[in-house]
Amino acid sequence: MNLGYHQNKTSILIPMRSLNKGKTRLSNLLSPDKREKLIKLLFTQLLKKLKTLKDQFPLIFSDVLVITPCEEVEKISKDYHVLVLKEQSLNGLNSAVKKGICWSSKNHCDSSLILPGDIIDPETEDIKKILEMGKISRDSIVICPSADFGTNALFLSLPTRLNFKFGPNSFFEHQKEAKKISMRSIIAPVDSLKDDLDTGKDLEKFKIRQPKFFQKI
């Protein structure tokens, strides 16, 4: 499908906390070192898949921007030639997203796709699907819910007045915020973006899906 990618300048925004601050709900199952290595592997996996998508479809998005206070995350990002917006302190996910949106607007992007950096196993085709849905629905947000009704992907046009509500039940909160500014919400329940890795059950499921991945931890 030719969607006229050349007409769009889309940023991919990835807010990332410090590697040693994530996956705390797995602290009774994984040591701090293993949790840190897990997040690093998931983040690196996402950057690799975004590079593959960009190589296959050079005009589908313009820039990947990682927003982080973490020097290790910054180093990994630069290894993949990804732009970094360094936070001086950890002010929360919504603050990081706002900074990424501000950067995108200043750099003449007309849309952004927000993705978590520790998503389990994203398929490039599913990321492409959300980008395509967003590009033909300029008067809407495109939102992918997680299994527990968080937000695992959010596409929106710029500039935006959307008030970001990442956190518990943010899928519903983002729909409410979109309605307040007369924006439609398009739900994109793509399989590879819906699962989180927050509980022992999630961990066991992921071990079955990607056994080789866990050999690296």
The pLDDT, as a whole number, for residue 67 is 97
CA 153 to chain centre: 6
Strand 151-157 with 140-145, pairing: antiparallel
Record the tokens describing residue 155, joined without a space: 């596409």
pTM: 0.92
The domains of the chain are located at 5-214
- List of E strands, 16-72: 63-68
**The CATH number of the domain covering residues in 5-214:** 3.90.550.10
Q: Tens of pLDDT along 143-198?
A: 999 988 999 999 999 999 999 999 999 999 999 999 999 999 999 988 899 887 77
Segment 121-151, tens digit of pLDDT: 899 999 999 999 999 888 899 999 998 899 9
Task: Provide the token pair at 157.
Answer: 């046009």
Confidence band (pLDDT; 50, 70, 90) for 90?
low
Cα–Cα–Cα angle for 137, 155, 52, nearest 5°? 110
User: In degrees rounded to 5, what are phi and psi of residue 112?
Assistant: -140, 145
CA distance 168 to 61: 28
CB count in 10 Å sphere of residue 95 = 16
DSSP string, 81-99: T-EEEE-SS---HHHHHHH
CA–CA distance, 42 with 46 (Å, rounded to integer): 6
Q: Which two tokens stand for residue 158?
A: 């710029």
pLDDT class of 2 with cuts at 50, 70, 90:
very low
